[in-house]
Amino acid sequence: MRRGVIGSDVGRALEIVRNGGLVGLPTETVYGLAADASQKTAIAKIFSVKGRPNNHPLIVHVSSLDVARTWSSQWTYSAEILGSTYWPGPLSVIVQKSSIVLDEVTGGHQTVAVRVPGHELALELLQQFKGGLAAPSANKFGKVSPTTAQHVLDDLGDDVDYILDGGPCRVGVESTIVDCSLEVPVVLRPGGITAEAIESIVALDNVDSGISRAPGMLLAHYAPLCEVVLVENMQQAQGSLGDANSKYRILDASIDPTSFASAMYSLLRQCDLDGIQKLFVVLPEPIGIGLAIRDRLTKAAHGSKNQSR
């Protein structure tokens, strides 16, 4: 069977994950590199293909709230109310893991992150699979996340057995992660479900994120090849052009943050394809989806410093 093929055959994807293979999984956030979360050898393939540190935990994707509960030994009130409100959708909750959860999935932690994705093809596959799929972003570790099937093929080639094509990702940034294993939940990673929306139904603590107990918490991540320079307004960007290399681009995320979020990773990838050396980005206000954009771009800027052209 040919590998690295893009298509829409859910049956083929189901056969592959059942047999321990890797599938490019469309979600509303980004494309995931999906494997059976109950197979150690399949999980090992994820880490190997991505070049991902083994202590960096994975998110388990499931088909429903009922299935999500089985992955936890202590399903909390906050996880219940958030899951029942925002699933299917771009939200992951961290809970105490149950006995079915492999240590390889959690990076050795006693907690596990789970979510129900809001994408028709992903849900169809998960409903037929009837288990959990570990699915970090389908790209090399630390690089720009994929938001189309072609991005997955460009990054991973035939290292992935099959890529389900679900079109461009609607949200475009990774899921919000809330640690619901704590007495007072904490947002560890901002995303498509805003902190304001979460806090409207559960109380949140406001503490430092601390150790990397969830994906996307490293200082450098999501990095393109070009250098990323972050500014607060267009005047600041224009004033910095004297220091720019010969080929630069300016993007303004402040005009329409929601639209920018859905296109952000494609825009970063296009800069590399176009040979851009320095990318200036005007940041949105740190509220709503703007907080997620600022988080991803801050990490992209940090990661790009050491690998710019």
Please tell me the predicted confidence (pLDDT) of residue 88.
Answer: 98
- Give SS3 for 281: strand
* pLDDT, average across residues 251-268: 98
Residue 307 has pLDDT above 60, yes or no: no
Please tell me the predicted confidence (pLDDT) of residue 217.
Answer: 53
Give the rounded percent of residues in the chain with a pLDDT score beyond 90.
85
Please tell me the predicted confidence (pLDDT) of residue 223.
Answer: 84
| CA 272/CA 269 separation, integer angstroms | 5
Tokens representing residue 243 in the block = 């220091």
* Average of per-residue pLDDT values in the chain: 92
Q: What are phi and psi of 255, to 5 degrees?
A: -70, -50
Per-residue exposure over 64-76, b if at least 16 CB sit within 10 Å of its own CB, e if not: ebebbbebbeebb
Are the beta carbons of 45 and 58 closer than 8 angstroms?
Answer: no
Q: Looking at per-residue confidence, does 220 or 80 come out higher?
A: 80
Strand ranges in the chain using DSSP code E only, listed in sequence order: 5-7, 23-25, 32-36, 59-61, 72-74, 91-97, 111-115, 133-134, 162-164, 176-179, 186-189, 227-231, 248-252, 278-282
Full-model pTM:
0.93
Task: Give per-residue pLDDT as tens, 189-218.
Answer: 999 999 999 999 999 987 654 454 566 555
| CA 239/CA 257 separation, integer angstroms | 23
- Give SS3 for 216: coil
- Of 97-101, 127-131, 239-243, 287-291, which range is least confident? 239-243
- Give SS3 for 250: strand
Residue 262 has pLDDT above 90, yes or no: yes
Please tell me the predicted confidence (pLDDT) of residue 40.
Answer: 98
To the nearest 10 degrees (0 to 180), the angle between helices 10-18 and 120-129 is: 50
Are the beta carbons of 38 and 100 closer than 8 angstroms?
Answer: yes
- Give SS3 for 247: coil
Domains of the chain, first to last: 5-199 (3.90.870.10), 227-304 (no CATH)
Task: Give per-residue pLDDT as tens, 134-171.
Answer: 999 999 998 999 999 999 999 999 999 999 999 999 99
Q: Could you give the C-alpha distances from 233 to 199, 280, 281, in angstroms and in order?
A: 29, 10, 9
